[in-house]
Structure 1
Amino acid sequence: MSGQQAARFDGQVALVTGGGSGIGAAVARRLAAEGCARVHVADIDVGNATRVAESVGGSAHVVDVADPQAVDDLVAAVVGAEDRLDVVVHTAGVDDPAAKTRILAAQESGEPVDALCELDDDGWRRVMSINLDGTFHVLRASVRAMRARGGGAIVTVGSSAAYDTLVGYPHYAASKAGVHALSQSVAKEVIPYGIRVNTVAPGPVDTPMAGRTPSAVRKAMEASGAIGYASADDLADNICYLASPGAKNVVGAVLLSNGGRFTV
């Protein structure tokens, strides 16, 4: 890593949601390595958040992003402690293991996938409340804090599944398509305040969430592109670019990071 790259976030304060594992943990490590004065690691799992925060000399927080008051309190705590907030990376999200099991069953039986009729209201609401509502809560709280202090950079995590939808995964695809549209609309609104909002749209990534994918389904997904599963560090590279001064002219982008599975 060059000295110039190492200083991309020199002296800045960052908040990473979902920072206790996977992509979020990789982002927290990268931000700390590249000069952040403090990285605040937020996760619903306090043990994971604490371990990552301690490894980067940061601060750990517990948050359920589906709870708007909890998100507001989180951002207020960060700003109260630091008197600034320069970078927010929102990686918190969920998949649906039950839907993946149904996809596997169809794959093994040769029958069409029957997901929509089996998807109940609670399953739909869980994915939407965390993935889409959670993004809204984080964007709103972050913009309120950054606008008062003259700017910042926010990166949200969508999914290539918003474009190349996986059969049997309608709620996940819808939630991530919503993340893209929400982030792009907010990006246009807040750029006059010096706040840049961008999104990364990963394909398959080797994270604990991916580890819950049945092996046969994972194998099929891995074979769908020229490059296999990305690493969490690969995505951290993309995210930190979008959050960095090097992307100062990038606003409202959805950066595909999917190993060449498709283009848009």
Structure 2
Amino acid sequence: MSDAVQLGPFQGRFRDRVAMVTGAGSGIGAAVARQLAAEGVRAVVLADVDREAAGAVAEELPGARATALDVADAAAVDGAVEDVLREYGRLDVMVHAAGVDDPRAKQWIADALSAGRPPEVTGWLDDAAWARVMRVNLDGTFHVLRASVRAMRPRASGAIVVIGSSSAFDAPVGYPHYAASKAGVHAVSQAVAKEVVADGIRVNVVAPGPTRTGMAARTPEALRSGFADPRVRPYATADEIADIALFLASDAAANLVGAVLLANGGRFTT
């Protein structure tokens, strides 16, 4: 591990805390892990289905280690969180950024836009595509919430931040499984938030709009250009979304419980 990361302007915000970030091998998860390290976290565990990618990020950061994790695997999530407790004795912050999209459905939508016709996705969407998105995005979120709550309850403190999506609100045409999965992510997070606030645990959600990540880079150009709007901010950066996630995880957000912060650059409001 390198000590190249310098403490940032909020260097004391996470001092002595132990954090875990899912989906930390790239994009928003990697940005969150880097910022936690820059803000004095005692330890941060980077979990990702791509262990090599998470390891490459962890190598940059003091107090960081990487682990392979498929959040759709409930036993694996439980085991990863238990490993954190065994190694560090506590879990103070969980940021759950792991998730998947559906490149095939995106291509169908892009092809329709290019041809000037309405997208026709639902009739062609098979059970496997639906189940994959739900298994990772929705089931995975429940697995992470459950394991985090079990770890945090004995200490009566902790902050959990879930990365949702503005797609839960605007429900993009031709993308029903992704929109439904993220709407479920928001709902389960809010339900858990109301339950565990009495235990000193805060759960909140960031709902990004278009963001420059590897997932966005794989989106067909015809679809990406459809998000362009001169009246609003361009694509967010992963660091900008990470800023919001870290605010929610910090003591400055002590009065935010079950919030869903829409971070879409002004594309729409709710």
TM-score class normalised by the smaller sequence = over 0.9
User: Which of residues 9, 14, 26 in structure 1 aligns to 2:14?
Assistant: 9
SS in 2 for 1:213: coil
1:237 aligns with 243
5+ long unaligned stretches in structure 2: 1-5
User: Which of residues 96, 107, 110 in structure 2 aligns to 1:101?
Assistant: 107
User: Which of residues 93, 118, 125 in structure 1 aligns to 2:131?
Assistant: 125
5+ long unaligned stretches in structure 1: none
Per the TM alignment, residue 2 of structure 1 is displaced from its structure 2 partner at its CA by 9.3
SS in 2 for 1:148: helix
Against the structure 1 CA distance between its residues 193 and 225, is the aligned structure 2 distance closer, same or farther, given a 3 Å change threshold?
farther
Query: Is 1:182 matched up with 2:182?
Result: no
Once residues 81 and 2 of structure 1 are traced to their aligned partners in structure 2, the CA distance between those partners, rounded to angstroms, is 24
Once residues 117 and 223 of structure 1 are traced to their aligned partners in structure 2, the CA distance between those partners, rounded to angstroms, is 30
SS in 2 for 1:154: strand
2:66 aligns with 60
1:102-251 map, 5 Å: 102-223=108-229, 226-251=232-257
Instruction: Give the residue type in structure 1 aligned to 2:60.
Output: S
Against the structure 1 CA distance between its residues 224 and 172, is the aligned structure 2 distance closer, same or farther, given a 3 Å change threshold?
farther
SS in 1 for 2:20: strand
Coordinate RMSD, CA, aligned:
1.3
Matched-pair contact (CA < 8 Å) for 1:204–1:222: no
Instruction: Give the residue type in structure 2 aligned to 1:110.
Output: G
SS in 2 for 1:197: strand
Query: Is 1:22 matched up with 2:27?
Result: yes
Matched-pair contact (CA < 8 Å) for 2:7–2:40: no
Once residues 22 and 269 of structure 2 are traced to their aligned partners in structure 1, the CA distance between those partners, rounded to angstroms, is 28
Once residues 117 and 11 of structure 1 are traced to their aligned partners in structure 2, the CA distance between those partners, rounded to angstroms, is 52
Instruction: Give the residue type in structure 2 aligned to 1:22.
Output: G
Matched-pair contact (CA < 8 Å) for 2:7–2:37: no
Once residues 94 and 202 of structure 1 are traced to their aligned partners in structure 2, the CA distance between those partners, rounded to angstroms, is 14
Matched-pair contact (CA < 8 Å) for 2:209–2:265: yes
2:55 aligns with 50
Once residues 89 and 222 of structure 1 are traced to their aligned partners in structure 2, the CA distance between those partners, rounded to angstroms, is 29
SS in 2 for 1:5: coil
User: Which of residues 70, 88, 109 in structure 1 aligns to 2:76?
Assistant: 70
How high is the sequence identity, in percent, across the aligned residues? 59
Once residues 217 and 79 of structure 1 are traced to their aligned partners in structure 2, the CA distance between those partners, rounded to angstroms, is 43
Instruction: Give the residue type in structure 1 aligned to 2:196.
Output: V
Matched-pair contact (CA < 8 Å) for 1:156–1:200: yes
Instruction: Give the residue type in structure 2 aligned to 1:195.
Output: I
Moved over 6 A (4+): 1-4
Matched-pair contact (CA < 8 Å) for 1:224–1:261: no
Once residues 3 and 218 of structure 1 are traced to their aligned partners in structure 2, the CA distance between those partners, rounded to angstroms, is 33
TM-score (norm 2): 0.96
Number of aligned residue pairs: give it: 264
Query: Is 1:39 matched up with 2:47?
Result: no
Per the TM alignment, residue 112 of structure 1 is displaced from its structure 2 partner at its CA by 1.6
Against the structure 1 CA distance between its residues 3 and 226, is the aligned structure 2 distance closer, same or farther, given a 3 Å change threshold?
closer
Instruction: Give the residue type in structure 2 aligned to 1:31.
Output: L
